[in-house]
Each structure stands twice: as structure tokens, then as C-alpha cells.
Amino acid sequence: MTPLDQLHIDSFKEGNRFEAKLAKGGIPNSIWETYSSFANTEGGLILLGVKENKNHTFAIEGIQNPEQLVKAFWDGVNNKKVVNINILNNSNVEIKDIDGKHIIAINVPRAERIYRPVFKGQDMFSGTYRRNGEGDYICSREEVAAIFRDAGQVTQDNKLITEVSLDTLCKETITHYRRRFMLVHQGHIWNNLSDVDFLKKIGAAKINHEDGVVYPTAAGLLMFGYESEIMYEYPLYFLDYQEHFDETTRWSDRIVSSSGEWSGNIFDFFFKVFNKLSEDIKRPFVLEGITRVDDTPVHKAIREILLNTLANADYYGRCGVVIKKYKDRFTFENPGTFRISIKEAIDGGMSDPRNATILKMFSMIDIGERAGSGIPGVFSVWNKAFGVSPEYTHRNSPDRIMTTLMLSDLMEYISENTVEKNEETTQKTTQKTESTTQKTTQKIEETTQKSDSTVEKKTPKVIENVIENDTKVIENGQKVIENVIEKDSKVIENIEFLSENQKAIIKMVIENPSISKAKLAEAIGISENSISRNIEALRGQFIRRVGPDKGGHWEVIK
């Protein structure tokens, strides 16, 4: 590998996290815009002394005095008049020698939430940048305000809402929650508390020390309030569920928080929507003792994504929470971004929800994970059940996160066809056995009728031999049936159900074993990250890599 390869440029190009600048006249002023945008988005790599051509190849121009340029960069990044904060350390800035030419590599990480926004100059509303597919762009005041809200150590839903009385909360929703709490925590001391004291214990209400009155927290208002009261604090609050099964209509079914037919709070919305999303998912008949257990891993995964959507939403943001159910997918949209990077959320082990109190209240009734393991679990379940990973998409202006769970009827199709094949094989084998037995019986009768006294003496032995032979035929037929069923059961058990993208990958690997991930992504029309995840799902059972990443090739496992 060349020093340029060792910088893993291809991985930074995913999501437009790479910028090359010639820097012939010193540190370019645009570098601070890129520094701000990388720090406020997903991080990125800046190369000085490198030119990127239109065909996306690189020309190493080099820098004459790299040490002086590095010093000038450090002077700038530590100057409060240039940028508001330095989030780098010495390991983030390196001088590289490539074929006798020097370049400077600056690896800008995603800034921690408490340090964002990172901005150029001294005015965050005019100097905060972010990165999208086209490059650096200046953030709107709305986006800057959202970033600034997330910077606080206390989550948004812990705020005390003094404009709304505790008496205005929905009594039916509180009763519903407490009933579920009692089922999970039988004999718990909180079960004997009044509603007011109970709400204080779970974080839904707090005492205002200025007037001594108990008011709902933002979490309590969102969980138990009526839509009309919720909008006192969140004027743009809106929850929307849609079913799209008929192309001739805008939606087949819809639930909205503003209908006035129900409370409109997120707790009631959660159960209404979960029941709608999960009603078509098969529930196998499983017993634990005398109790039926019909909560499958797929149901749990849907519940986890729905909860994450509600717990991570920025309810001050525009467009609200929108859940859509299609024939082949579910989509979950919420205003706001992840407070951690999408990669950290997928990798797991870290949890930083925007509305931590809401997440805690759901976890108290055994809904949702709080250890940062929820999303990785969803990835595992969805890959196993449907052969495809969830997709996360970040949109800007306004900020929105969309999660897509693709569905597939391939599993059902294979299962049904395998059963039909088994039944057909069984039927044919049974018919053959019955036909053989019928012929044998007829032969016995003919032999008996034609027999003389000599034959009559031999007939019992003939009959015994024939019956013995046909018994073996029947036993062999049964064995054939059992072998077919066992073989097809193993096929069903071991098969990985392929998505359309995975089928396309296998087809292209057959046609061109040396094809790169970038070429696969370009041909199929998905990101390189998606290609990598699909290849990992196929690797070892359908395809294998022969040789190194560069210079090797793919083989299809027969």
C-alpha cells in the first residue's frame, strides 16, 4: 500500500467526508468551513497538497514547507477569532511523504455533543457549517438552535413545564401506564402511591421550588398529556402513522395526534402504532408452561425501532414523527439527528438519547433497551429474518433521521414451496408403494387360484416371500419420504434468504470476480457501506474472498 492508500481515502469518501486542497499559497481560508462542517457532522479527512481530478483520481502536488504550514494550521485552530474551539490533538495532523512529495493529512473527528456547534469566526449563527452530499453548507438559525439544544448535559425532556397544570394530563393514559407497571413490578412500593407521587417517582413530574407546585416535566407532558396541552411547549408537535397498500389512494389507514379522537400523546401513540405494524408478522405457537409466548425477535425489533424514533425525536423540530407501513417496508422518521454518530449507534455500547426520561419510563414497563444494545440487536434480527440490514438516512434542512426496515415474503415463499415439494414427493412415493402392493396382492390371488395340491403346499412360502419383499418396499418408501423431508428441512434451516441487493451482488461477482465494492455500489445504486454489510451477510455461505482486498478476487461457493 502507498501512504495515500494507508489514509483510507475510500472510506472517507463515503458520505462525502473527504476534502483535498492544494494549499499553494498557505492555509486556505475555506479550510475552517470544512473543519466546522466535519466536526458538526460525521468527521472527515482534509489533505493539503493534493489535487482531486474530475475523474476522482488524485494528483500529488506536494507542499514545499510542510512544517511551516502545520504550524500555521495549529495557530489558526487555536485562535478563538478563527474558530471557536480546537477539538484536535497532535495525532490528528500528520505530514506524509509520497514519492518524495510532502502532503499534510488532517483527520477531523466528529465533535462531542457538548462542544457543538463548532463554528468559524465568533458568531455561531453565521459561522456554523455542516456537510452533505454536495459539500460544506452554512447552517440555518433553526439548525444551529437544534445543535445548541442538544449540547446541554441534561436531556430535553427533563425540563419543567410550568405553563401546564398536572391536573390536565390524561387520566386514562396514566391508568394504562400504572397497570402495566403493576404487571411488571408486582408488590412494588410505588403501586400504593397516589398518581401525583407516582409521576414524581418516574420523572414525569417535579416540584417547582419557586412556588412549591408540582408541574409535569417535558417527558411527563409528552407521555401523558393531551395534544392540545403538549403544543403549549412544542408548537410543531405532530405524530402521524400511515398505511400505504393501495396506490390509488394517499393512504389506506391513518392515525394522527391532532384528530381529537384520542389523547394524542406518545405513550398511546406507541401502542396504537405497534399493534398496526406487528399485526401481519407471523406469531409461532410457542408455550412456556401453560402460557403462550408470541413475542418474536422480529416483534421486539419493531418495538425497539419505534421506541428509538420517539425517544430520539426533537419535538421542537418541524414535520413531526411520521411512521409509514408499506407492503414491502416500514419507515420511521423523526425530527432531529442522532446525538451520537450513526456508526456509534449501529456498533452499540453507547446510548445518548435526546429524551432519556421518556426512554427510562418505557424501560420501567419492560419496553426498550437502555444499554446501547438495542440497535445492534435490531440489525442482527433483521439480517437473520429478512436478509437485509436496516437503513439509516440523515436529511438536512430541517434535520431528520429516517429508518427503513425492508420486509420480504421470500421466507414464506420458500417455506410454502418446500412444503408443497415434500407433499408432492410423499404423494408420489405413497402412490408407488400402494401400486406395488396392489399388484403383489393380485399376483397372490392369481397364484392361489391356479395352484394344484403341489402348488398349495408352496403357496404359503411364496406369499410370505412376496409379503416380505413388499414390506421392504413399503419400508424403503417410508425411508425415502423421511430422507426427503429431512433434506428439505435442513435446506430451510440453513438457507440465508437473499435480498434483491444480495442477489445482484452474487450475479455481478459471477460476471466479474475482481469487481470492487465501489463498482458494485455504483452498479446497484446503493452506498459502499450497504455493499459491505450485504457482503458480510453473504460471506462464508455464498461467496468467499480469495487473496488480499487489493489484487484478490471473489468466488461463489457452490
Per-residue pLDDT tens for 28-86?
999 999 999 999 988 999 999 998 888 777 888 999 899 999 999 999 999 999 999 99
Q: What whole-number distance in Å separates Cα of residue 273 and Cα of residue 323?
A: 8
Q: Please indicate, yes or no, whether residues 225 and 239 belong to a single structural domain of this protein.
A: no
pLDDT tens for each residue of 197-222 = 999 999 999 999 889 999 999 999 99
Q: Please indicate, yes or no, whether residues 454 and 479 belong to a single structural domain of this protein.
A: yes
Q: What whole-number distance in Å separates Cα of residue 518 and Cα of residue 523?
A: 9
Structural domain ending residue among the three candidates 456, 477, 494: 494
Residues 6+ away with beta carbon under 8 Å from 152: 114
Domain span at 323? 235-409
More confident residue, 287 or 217: 217
Contact 60, 103 (CB under 8 A): yes
Structural domain ending residue among the three candidates 476, 494, 512: 494
Q: What whole-number distance in Å separates Cα of residue 26 and Cα of residue 21?
A: 10
More confident residue, 224 or 345: 224
Contact 285, 292 (CB under 8 A): yes
Q: Please indicate, yes or no, whether residues 246 and 217 belong to a single structural domain of this protein.
A: no
Q: Please indicate, yes or no, whether residues 241 and 375 belong to a single structural domain of this protein.
A: yes
Note the pTM of the prediction, 2 decimals: 0.60
Using the predicted structure, report yes or no on whether residue 286 has a pLDDT greater than 70. Answer: no
Q: What is the arithmetic mean of pLDDT over 385-411?
A: 81
Q: Please indicate, yes or no, whether residues 522 and 431 belong to a single structural domain of this protein.
A: no
- Highest mean pLDDT out of 5-9, 139-143, 469-473: 139-143
In CATH, what number is assigned to the domain containing residue 395? 3.30.565.60
Q: Please indicate, yes or no, whether residues 243 and 211 belong to a single structural domain of this protein.
A: no
Cα–Cα nearest to 230, from 209, 208, 258, 195: 258
What is the predicted pLDDT for the residue at 534?
79
Q: Please indicate, yes or no, whether residues 365 and 432 belong to a single structural domain of this protein.
A: no
What is the predicted pLDDT for the residue at 556?
86
What is the predicted pLDDT for the residue at 460?
52
Cα–Cα nearest to 224, from 181, 286, 287, 177: 177
Using the predicted structure, report yes or no on whether residue 304 has a pLDDT greater than 70. Answer: yes
The band of 157, judged by pLDDT with boundaries at 50, 70 and 90, is confident
Q: What whole-number distance in Å separates Cα of residue 516 and Cα of residue 538?
A: 16
More confident residue, 471 or 341: 341
**Average pLDDT score over the chain:** 80
- Structure letter (DSSP) for residue 511: H
Q: What whole-number distance in Å separates Cα of residue 339 and Cα of residue 243?
A: 29
Q: Please indicate, yes or no, whether residues 211 and 345 belong to a single structural domain of this protein.
A: no
Q: Please indicate, yes or no, whether residues 504 and 483 belong to a single structural domain of this protein.
A: no
What is the predicted pLDDT for the residue at 36?
96
Using the predicted structure, report yes or no on whether residue 95 has a pLDDT greater than 70. Answer: yes
In CATH, what number is assigned to the domain containing residue 520? 1.10.10.10
Give 102's strand partners: 97
What is the predicted pLDDT for the residue at 489?
41
Structural domain ending residue among the three candidates 382, 409, 436: 409
Helix axes 528-538, 500-511, angle to 10 degrees: 80
Using the predicted structure, report yes or no on whether residue 310 has a pLDDT greater than 90. Answer: yes
What is the predicted pLDDT for the residue at 48?
94
Task: Tabulate helix, strand, coil % of the chain (nearest 5).
Answer: 50, 20, 35
Q: What is the arithmetic mean of pLDDT over 145-152?
A: 81
What is the per-residue DSSP string for 445-468? Answer: HHHHHH--HHHHHHHHHHHHHHHH
Q: Please indicate, yes or no, whether residues 404 and 431 belong to a single structural domain of this protein.
A: no
Using the predicted structure, report yes or no on whether residue 427 has a pLDDT greater than 50. Answer: yes
Q: What whole-number distance in Å separates Cα of residue 358 and Cα of residue 373?
A: 17
Using the predicted structure, report yes or no on whether residue 412 has a pLDDT greater than 60. Answer: no
pLDDT tens for each residue of 446-495 = 544 554 444 445 445 554 554 555 555 555 555 554 554 454 444 333 44
In CATH, what number is assigned to the domain containing residue 95? 3.30.950.30
What is the predicted pLDDT for the residue at 417?
41
What is the predicted pLDDT for the residue at 274?
93
More confident residue, 400 or 429: 400
What is the predicted pLDDT for the residue at 451?
46
Cα–Cα nearest to 179, from 168, 166, 195, 167: 195
What is the predicted pLDDT for the residue at 214?
95
Our count of domains for the chain comes to 5
What is the predicted pLDDT for the residue at 428?
53
pLDDT tens for each residue of 353-369 = 888 899 999 999 988 76
Classified as helix, coil or strand, 162 is coil
Q: How far is CA 177 from CA 205, 309, 430, 439, 507, in A?
A: 15, 20, 57, 71, 51
What is the predicted pLDDT for the residue at 371?
46
Q: Please indicate, yes or no, whether residues 404 and 428 belong to a single structural domain of this protein.
A: no
Lowest-pLDDT range, 334-338, 459-463, 506-510? 459-463
Contact 330, 386 (CB under 8 A): no
pLDDT tens for each residue of 68-84 = 999 999 999 999 999 99
What is the predicted pLDDT for the residue at 340?
67
What is the predicted pLDDT for the residue at 362?
94
More confident residue, 428 or 186: 186
The band of 435, judged by pLDDT with boundaries at 50, 70 and 90, is low
Q: Please indicate, yes or no, whether residues 369 and 260 belong to a single structural domain of this protein.
A: yes
- State the chain's maximal CA–CA distance in angstroms: 123
